[in-house]
Structure formats: structure tokens, C-alpha cells
Structure 1
Amino acid sequence: MDYTIKKEHDYQYIEEGSGDTLLLLHGLFGALSNWEGVITHFIQKYKVIIPLMPIHDMPIKEAGCEGLTTFIEGFVAYKKMDKFSLIGNSLGGHVALIYTLKYPEKVQRLILTGSSGLFENSMGGSYPKRGNYEYIKERVEYTFYDPKTASKELVDEVFEITNSIPKVMRIIAIAKSAQRNNMAKDIVRIKTPTLLIWGLNDTITPPQVGHEFNELIPGSELHFIDKCCHAPMMERPQEFNHILAKWLDQNPV
């Protein structure tokens, strides 16, 4: 990825483009590069900001959805961001939901893709096994409709993460926090215009989860992308960007 990662204060982030702000949040095994297609497509019209969430190195007592939300609160304050559209994939969607409920005056539009918060089949049904490359490769491929989307670089990155006991401890703590934190009773209060983009073949947050979000969040709009799994912005970037761009145009701020 050609974009510069800025390192300021306690934050690492990408900031590209100008205009209304899109704040993007990656998932549990995600990275800034997950959003490369979104950056490329939208920086001509929007300012795109993507913070690297401290999933692997945050204090273990804070490792959970609330701790990550606190991190995003701090980042937003540091960047002096007033109003923005919030986009989250998987765990990032979960954090986006919590943040939106706490700061509805800041979030102008909410976009969720493969979000946890209602149900998530973490790592394909099991926690990561250390030291078993083929197992990790299989689990990473499980998150995509086309296994070839799981590049060697991506598998290597996840393998490196799962070989670190401290990182795995935080991942497990955060995954358990996400599973405990069911938001069905809370998200009915969301008034923010909301777009849901789901992979029709999602194995982690299946299509029914997208339907449930659609039913619970008033006025939300749901779109499915065929032959696509848990990370539509990576696996089907053209379709994802087309849906997102059209919806943003139809819901101006």
C-alpha cells in the first residue's frame, strides 16, 4: 500500500484526501490496508481517515469493545473531528455502533459491513491455534468467498500475530467482549442514517445478521453482494464502492 502511515501522539493512522470526513474502522484481524480500495475511490471527494486500533498492544484489562471505543474517542478528540461519517467492518462495526450511540451528534452517517454486535462466528468457530501455519491459512481463507483473496502476505501477518501469546490473549479478550456485548436492545435507538453492506456468502456474520440489523436499526438500508464473504471492501471493492458512493450521494450531510 502506497499511502503514508502517520505516527503522532499515541496514534498511527492514514489521512488522505479532502472534503467531508469518512472515518474507517478495521476488524479484529484487520489492518489499514483492508481499506485500500475505499481510499483510492473516495479521496477525490472525501477526507478518508483510518486509525490503527491498538488490538494487539492495549492494556489487557482494557481489551474489549468499550476499551476500543475509548481509544476512538481519544483519537477523534486528538484530531479535533467535529462531524463525520463512520464506517466499520466486523469488530470495527461493533465499535462504530457503540460510538454512534454515545455520540449521535458527531456521527452524520453510519455504514456497517459484516459487523459484529448481534452474532459473530469468530475465526470460523474456534480461537486461533498457535504455530500451525496451515490451520491459520485455512481460517484466513474462511473469511473470503474466493480463498485466493487471502494473500500470502495476509496469512503471514495473521500467523505472526497468533504466534505471540500477549497478542493472542488480547484477541481472545476482545473476541469474548464482542460476543458478550449483544446490542439488539440498544441499536433500536439509532437515528443516524445507516447503510448495511453484506456479503451474501458471509460465514462469520451470516446474511441473516444483516437482515436483523436492518430490522432493528430504524430506516437502515441493506445491500448484499453476491460471491462475497466477510470483508466486501476487500473482496468486491468495485461493488462495495459503487453502493457506498451512491448511498452517500443520496444521503448528503
Structure 2
Amino acid sequence: MELQVKKQGKYTYIDEGQGEVMLLLHGLFGALSNWKDVVNAFSDRYRVVIPMMPIYELSPHKAGIDSLTKFIADFIEDFDLHDLTLLGNSLGGHIALNYTLHYPERVKRLVLTGSSGLFENTMGGSYPKRGSYDYIKERVEYTFYDPATATPELVEEVFNVTRSIPKCMNIVAIAKSAQRHNMAKDLPNIKVPTLLIWGLNDTITPPHVAHDFARLLPNAELKFIDKCCHAPMMERPEKFNSILEQFLQKTKETALRLHDS
């Protein structure tokens, strides 16, 4: 299914299906299309919503975790979304955690994959280098276990972003904000059921980061996907969706038992 991008006011987003809301948040170099396999797998029984975060539209001195969290909070409020299943990849996971910390009444469950918030190797340990296609290609491939997952279209998209000085400034500002905004002390206060789906070969947020999240979040379960790096929903979509489906069913049954008791 081809994803239909919608615009309303300051928001660019995807909104497919009906029912319980799944809100998906992309990463720093992410795009709405990163989640296409999740949309295709779940929009027949969930309302799947993906807002485009204004990573390049923010002024550099405001580009950071708090501004992006406020943007998502405004989006959720303006669209009157409740009882969310909130999914986030990389930076999107960080925003999902920060939002849940401040608005726990809106979030039913969390799903994090390759999330920042504790530790990450930004762009594989370095910031974007402008003007070098080969360098950008190498860095994008570094995000995946199988370099072939980094399609020419994806590499070209990232390369075009890094050719813009203002966009590079925002990327650096947000990456530094994410590194400063360590959530270790906050995670024990996030009580919602949380699923951690992690690439066993993640080079950006390595497996030890996933174990730290599992240890600090009170109600978390951790699942690894082998031969998979930083974006499991793109690289191993069938396995990712299978693990997600099991979690959704299990937490739904738990909620029903609690409601009936």
C-alpha cells in the first residue's frame, strides 16, 4: 500500500486505518516511509498515525529534545489522540520516552527500537560531513546489518540533507541535545508496559543499551533480532511485526483481565 501523506496546518503526517491509535515516531535522519511495513501490517485493525517531526524547521537554538517533545504533545492534543501505543525508533524513541514521562495519562504502551536516551554513537561516532557522497553512503550503510538495505534513494535523501548548512546545524544541535538529555534517572518513573525490539548487531545503540533500558524501565520486556542493526522495522520487518503483534495481544489481554477483575 502506498502511504498517503497529509497536511493540516503546521503538520505533515500519515493517518491510515481506524481503531486504537498507534503513533509512530521516526529518527533523526528518518522519514515517514521508514514505518511503511508497520503501517501495511497493522492499519487494517489500528489507526496508524505518523507525524513528521520538524527537525529541519526548528531554529538552531531551539533544536532539541524538549522542542520536539512539545511538537509531538501539540500534535497529539490537536488531533485529540488518547490511549496511545507509542512507537519510536532512535531519536523517536527518545521523544516517546520523554512524552510518556510528562503525559503518562495519554500512553497505554510503549515500543522502543534502537532508542536514544541512554547512549548512542551519533552517525557512527561522527557528525555529518558535507559534500562527500561516499562518506554519507558509508554512514547510512553503517545503520544496517546488510548494507544493501541502504538503497540509493535512501542514501541520496540523506546526502541532500547534509548538503544544507542550516539542516546540518539542526542535526548537530539535536544530536548534542539527545546526548545531554540522559534519561537514566527518569526511566524508573515510566510505568507503562514497554516492548524493546533491538537489533542484535546495532552499532548506534549497541545491545548493552537495550539491556540498560530493560533494567531501568519497571515494566519492560526485551526482544533481540539477529542479523539486524539500528532500524529493525526497516531491515527485518516481518520479524519486527511478529514480535509487535505478540506484545499487542498480550497487553490487550492483560488490560481486559484488569478491567474484568
Residues 97-136 of structure 1 deviation map (CA, whole Å, 9 limit, x = unaligned): 0000001110000000000000010100000100000000
1:77 Cα deviation (Å)? 1.1
Residues 135-178 of structure 1 deviation map (CA, whole Å, 9 limit, x = unaligned): 00000000000000000000000000000000000000000000
1:236 aligns to 2:239 (yes or no): no
Matches within 5 A, 1:72-91: 72-91=72-91
User: Which residue number corresponds to residue 31 of structure 1?
Assistant: 31
User: Which residue number corresponds to residue 146 of structure 2?
Assistant: 146
CA contact (8 A) 2:3 2:33 kept: no
- TM-score if structure 2 supplies the norm length? 0.96
Structure 1 residues without counterparts, runs of 5 or longer = none
1:56 Cα deviation (Å)? 1.0
Distance 1:96 1:3 in 2: 22
Distance 2:19 2:203 in 1: 35
User: Which residue number corresponds to residue 122 of structure 2?
Assistant: 122
Aligned length: 253
Identity across matched positions, percent: 64
1:82 Cα deviation (Å)? 2.2
User: RMSD of the alignment, in Å?
Assistant: 0.8
Structure 1 SS opposite 2:105:
coil
Structure 1 SS opposite 2:223:
strand
User: Which residue number corresponds to residue 167 of structure 2?
Assistant: 167
Distance 1:160 1:225 in 2: 31
Distance 2:50 2:40 in 1: 13
User: Which residue number corresponds to residue 136 of structure 2?
Assistant: 136
1:61 Cα deviation (Å)? 2.2
Matches within 5 A, 1:1-253: 2-252=2-252
Structure 2 residues without counterparts, runs of 5 or longer = 256-261
Find runs of 4+ consecutive structure 1 residues off by over 6 angstroms: none
1:84 Cα deviation (Å)? 0.9
Distance 2:193 2:219 in 1: 7
1:58 Cα deviation (Å)? 1.3
Distance 1:190 1:77 in 2: 20
Structure 2 SS opposite 1:108:
strand
